[in-house]
A and B are shown apart, each in its own frame.
Chain A
Amino acid sequence: MKQFLKRINFYELVRPVGQMLTFSVGSAVCMSVIAVVLALILDQTYIGADIMEKYRVTLFTYTMINLPQVVIDGLTIGFVYAAIALGYTMVYGVLEFINFAHSEIFAVGAFVGVEFLIALGSAGVLSGASLPMAYAYLTLAIFLGMLAAGGLAVTVERVAYRPLRGASRLVPLISAIGVSFLLQDVIRLVEGVTTGQFNRIFPTFGNFDARIIFGKLAMGASKITMGISVKSIIVIVSAVLMLVALNYLVNATRIGKAIRAVAQDRSTASLMGINVNRIISLTFLVGGLLGGAAGVLYALKFTRIDPFVGFFPGLKAFTAAVLGGIGNMTGALLGGIVLGMLETFAGSYMGVFTMGAAGSEYKDIFAFSILILVLIFRPQGLMGKHVGQKA
């Protein structure tokens, strides 16, 4: 036992947790400061007067009171984006190729998990399940989702990307777009033929919908409760566990070393005796596992999925990966959390700050605008190396 404990690299276990804490707290503080400052400025204008009339508090108070809830929401979705972003970043690090189909891998994971739970539900097992059993079923669903997604990722790599490895950069990218479209309709076809339905609902069981209330804050005539739902806690905890595991795999094991070697210089790595094809397949597998788990967690938190559920989260997760510095795992983590925060802050406050002119409709293009701005002013991302004009 002692031998085993000695071989574990504790530093690599603690470091990512520390990073996540830093990023979360840091981005929360930054965003909060920006929001509060904006609120203070706008309070002096007619926007503040409008809020006073509608909600009977100043804009500043409104902002402050909603802040904790917005931060929690931002963290939850941020961790989901981070989990998906890691899939993009790992593949990019190893192959310098954007796996466009990763969004559908995410979707497949979600569907497999949800279908499994629905099947359990119709077998009557879920409604009477005790709390530990409920968690067991959820974990089982996540595992199944991970397996299906991982398997699909490896298959896609073999069938659609490997034959194109020598070609110019655009060719596998176009193929990836094709795979993404193909998979969307295949999911729809399979769902249609087997269940006849387009939307699938995550079954209600266990205590996932319960909410842990921290306190109530008075705002004008109403009270705002601050709390976090059990679902969000599950999502955050699972994401953290997976990210720690991934980080350990890549930074503290021999296979991880091989992955990093292939990412750095493929030909030299093969000279060192590394089976490059196998490592690439493994990278896709790991990315797929993460994406699949993220899918089931997304379905848990947001209840409803459909065959096109992967498109927007996938795109935003890619934005997060680029924001953090693509090819860089820490960067993907940072990018995911920051983007989740940005998006939630924008969605919650924009409508109020602009007096309804630009509301949460613009939440999505907020993420795209971030992408464009990052790529213009700092294409290497927050943590990456320079990726300008390379052939």
Chain B
Amino acid sequence: MVSSYFKELFDRANQGRLAYFFVIAHIFAGTYLVYTQPRSNLAFLVLITSFLSLYFFRTSSRFKLVAGVVLALVIVPIVGVRNIFYLEVIFQIAVFAALALGLNIVVGFAGLLDLGYVAFYAVGAYLWAFFGSQQFYVLHFAPGTQPSDLPFLLPGDTFYMFILVGIIVAGVTGIILGLPVLRLRGDYLAIVTLGFGEVIRVLANNLDKPLNFTNGPQGITPIQRPTMPDMVVDWFNGIFGGVVGHDVSPANLYNLMFYLYALIMIIVIIFVTRRLNDSKIGRAWTAVREDETAAIAQGIPLVRMKLTAFAVGASFAGAMGVLLAASRTFISPESFSFMQSIGVLSMVILGGAGSIPGVILGAATVTILNLQVLQGFSLYLNELRQSDAVIPIINFAWKDLSTQLDPAKYQRLLFGLILILMMIFRPAGLIPASRRKRELDRDETK
């Protein structure tokens, strides 16, 4: 009953001018709150959810486009530069959204459960890490014993070229990996891809002898970034300096730059995905996902279609890997564990496999949960523990709460719960793909 009440309320608000009003009000409220309370979690959340309201309210698509651009390119960067933690959150949302979109092609469109997606991410990252750092000259040194004054192999500006190289190399890796195993059934494929993911991680951890390619568990650092001309720094500070309140250092501008690159990647991925989805290949993917036997009967070349999905998904991950390596200036095998694969998978499942807005929402939700909400909650609990506060009704002193009950520590629990609950209660995800939505709606009206 509560839900239908909200539904009515929402439908009434969602018409004509009122919709525009709400969206603009939301955006303004968010901006104002974040501007005045730079460290408040709630304010940040209000601003981020304004993207959601932009999506749901019925406004003209031109308005959505303009408002979206203003939000993403003007408001968010300024907010981010004032409080660099928010910029980091947004950057990670952008990176994970791109990764989730790539995995969405494999899991959501073609129905292939890939548990080792992070392997392609690692391939891209280590590619740029090797060529964009001193690692070439370190080949004969054991990890940790190299001198610190070696030259770099390639100049930092080749980064742009390497995004392309990363796409190609990761795509080829996807084809090589996929060719032998895509004949297998869904659950076997899942385990094999898990195996691949682990193999890549172990290789990254161990390819430090006899030739030191990856520098083992210590990772590769420093990795170069593309140069940022001083002109850009001055220009930015000139225009936005007053609004931000202080001079922005080049380091922060780099963060901003990579955030913008991640956004560009997302737009490219969305564009490619939608074109593919609307083409013959997309329809073939839908057929393969729904019923493989029938698809074969229709004459669809099964393995080739699956391979295409695999390779396309892999190439996006590779590009993001190159971006990650350059933005962090450091990578290590710890970023490419099984947990990360499951993390990206849970983003796709949570948001809705096969649905582009759903997957972006899933990525944003999981990242915010992981970085902000859980940590914020546990920090809050910690403050309570150090104070003399008491839970009112049962008179339980916060101090006595076991230090083991710390929400930030239980990331796996969170992922596991998301997966189980979504599968049982809402397997189509938070924002189901339009095809599923039609099925759901049909079921509703029956």
Q: Does B438 contact A (CB under 8 A)?
A: no
Give the interface centre of A97, A362, A375 by most chain B CB atoms within 10 Å: A375
With A160-B424, A170-B113, A173-B113 given, is the CB distance from A356 to B209 under 8 Å?
yes
| 4 pairs of A and B residues whose beta carbons are closest in the complex | A178-B419, A182-B416, A181-B416, A185-B413
Q: Which residues of B contact A196 (CB under 8 A)?
A: 404
Q: Mark A153-188, 1 if CB is under 8 A from B, else 0.
A: 000000010011001011111110111111111101
Is B251 an interface residue when CB atoms closer than 8 A count as contact? no
Known: A160-B420, A357-B210. 6 other contacts (CB 8 A): A97-B187, A185-B410, A322-B191, A368-B198, A387-B188, A389-B296
Query: What A residues does B412 contact at CB under 8 A?
Result: 181-182, 184-185
A164-B342 in contact (CB<8A): no
B155: chain A residues within 8 A (beta carbon): none
Residues of A within 8 Å of B43, CB to CB, are none
CB distance from A371 to the nearest CB of B (A): 5
Is the CB–CB distance between A178 and B181 below 8 Å?
no
A318 with B191, Cβ < 8 A, contacts A193-B405, A361-B206 known: yes
- Given A365-B199, A389-B292, also A376-B181 (CB < 8 A): yes
Task: Give B412 Cβ to nearest chain A Cβ, in Å.
Answer: 4
Q: Quick one: given A182-B416, A356-B209, A379-B184, are A368 and B404 in contact (CB under 8 Å)?
A: no
In the complex, which residues of chain A have a beta carbon less than 8 angstroms from the beta carbon of B198? Answer: 315, 364-365, 368
B165 at the interface (CB under 8 A from A): no
Closest partner residue, chain B, to A387 (CB atom): B185
Q: Which residue of B lies closest to A361 (CB)?
A: B206
Distance (whole angstroms) from the CB of B401 to the closest CB of chain A: 10
Q: Which residue of A lies closest to B415 (CB)?
A: A181
Residues in B whose Cβ lies below 8 Å from that of A177: 115, 342, 345, 416, 419
Taking a contact as CB atoms closer than 8 A, the residue among B291, B293, B427 that contacts A171 in the complex is B427
- On whether the beta carbons of B192 and A371 are closer than 8 Å, the reply is yes
A228 to B404, CA, bound (A): 41
Q: Hey, what's the 0/1 contact readout for A357-391 against B, CB within 8 Å counting as 1?
A: 11001101100110110011001000000011111
Asked if B183 is an interface residue, CB under 8 A from chain A, the answer is: yes
B342, chain A: closest CB distance, angstroms: 7
Number of interface residues of A (CB under 8 A): 51
Interface size class of B (residues with CB under 8 A): 35 or more
Interface residues of B in 399-446 (CB under 8 A from A): 402, 404-405, 410-413, 415-420, 423-424, 427
**Chain B neighbourhood of A388, CB < 8 A:** 183-185
Docked Cα-Cα span, A183 to B209, in Å, equals: 37
* A189 B185 Cβ-Cβ under 8 A: no
Contacts of A179 on B, CB cut-off 8 Å?
416, 420
Contacts of A174 in B (CB 8 A): 113, 345, 349, 419, 423
A332 close to chain B: CB less than 8 A: no
Residue of B nearest to A388 (CB): B183
User: Within 8 Å CB of A192, what residues of B?
Assistant: 402, 404
Q: Which of A98, A179, A182, A390 has the largest number of chain B CB atoms within 10 A?
A: A182
A169 engages B423 (CB within 8 Å): no
Q: Which residue of A lies closest to B292 (CB)?
A: A391
Among B188, B209, B411, B417, point to the contact of A379 (Cβ < 8 A): B188
Residue pair B423, A186 in contact (C-beta under 8 Å): no
Asked if B424 contacts A175 (CB within 8 A), the reply is yes
Known A185-B412, A388-B183: A170·B404 in contact at CB below 8 Å: no
The answer to whether residues A185 and B424 also contact, given A170-B113, A364-B202, A375-B192 and a CB cut-off of 8 A, is no
Residues of A contacting B202 in the complex (Cβ-Cβ under 8 angstroms): 361-362, 364-365
For residue A99, give the distance in angstroms from its CB to the closest CB of chain B.
10
Q: How many A-B residue pairs have CB under 8 A?
A: 143
Q: Of all chain B residues, which has the CB nearest A184?
A: B412
A–B pairs, 7, beta carbons within 8 Å? A170-B187, A170-B190, A177-B345, A181-B416, A186-B413, A322-B191, A379-B183
Residues of B68-96 whose CB lies within 8 A of A = none
CA distance A247 to B188 in the complex (A): 26
Q: Which of A184-206 contact B (CB under 8 A)?
A: 184-186, 188-189, 192-193, 196
Instruction: Tell me the bound Cα distance from A188 to B416 in angstroms.
Output: 14
A-contact 0/1 string along B203-221, CB 8 Å cutoff: 1011001100000000000
In the assembled complex, the Cα of A376 lies from the Cα of B181 at a distance in Å of: 6
A238–B184 Cα distance when bound, in Å, is 36
CB distance from A269 to the nearest CB of B (A): 22
Give, as a whole number of angstroms, the nearest-CB distance from A382 to chain B: 16
Cβ-based interface call for B194 (8 A) = yes
Q: With a CB–CB cut-off of 8 A, which chain A residues contact B199? A: 365, 368-369
Q: Given A364-B198, A365-B199, A372-B181, do A178 and B302 touch, yes or no (CB 8 Å)?
A: no
B192 touches A178 (CB 8 A): no
Nearest CB to that of A377 among chain B residues?
A: B180
- Decide: B402 and A193 in contact? CB cutoff 8 A: yes
Q: Which residues of B contact A375 (CB under 8 A)?
A: 181, 184, 188, 192
A172 to B113, CA, bound (A): 12
| Separation of A180 and B405 alpha carbons in the complex (Å) | 20
State how many angstroms separate the Cβ of B295 from the closest Cβ of chain A: 9
| Contact present for B209 and A357 (CB under 8 Å) | yes
B195 at the interface (CB under 8 A from A): yes
B420 and A371 contacting across the interface, CB-CB below 8 Å:
no
Tell me, rounded to whole Å, the shortest Cβ–Cβ distance linking B280 to chain A.
Answer: 21
Q: Is the CB of B188 within 8 A of A178?
A: no
Distance of A309 from chain B, by nearest CB (Å): 14
What mask results when residues 72 to 111 of chain A are scored 1 for a CB within 8 Å of chain B, else 0? 0000000000000000000000000110000000000000
Q: How far is the CB of B351 from chain A (nearest CB, A)?
A: 14
Once the chains are docked, how many angstroms separate the CA of A322 from the CA of B192? Answer: 11
Task: A167 to B424: give the CA distance in the assembly, Å.
Answer: 10
B57 within 8 Å of A by Cβ?
A: no
**Chain A nearest Cβ from B380, distance in angstroms:** 19
Tell yes or no: B121 within 8 A of A by CB: no
- Complex interface: chain B residues within 8 A of A376 (CB): 180-181
B417 touches A178 (CB 8 A): yes
Taking a contact as CB atoms under 8 Å apart, the answer to whether A371 and B423 are in contact is no
Is B111 in contact with chain A by the CB < 8 A criterion?
A: yes
Within the complex, the shortest CB–CB distance from B193 to chain A, in Å, comes to 10
- Beta-carbon contact of B111 and A178 below 8 Å: no
The chain A residue with its CB closest to the CB of B421 is: A178
Residues of the B chain whose Cβ atoms lie less than 8 Å from the Cβ of A188? 410
Which residues of B are found within 8 Å of A315, using beta-carbon distances? 194-195, 198
Contact A182 B187 (CB under 8 A): no
Asked whether B188 lies within 8 Å of A372 as measured between CB atoms, the reply is no
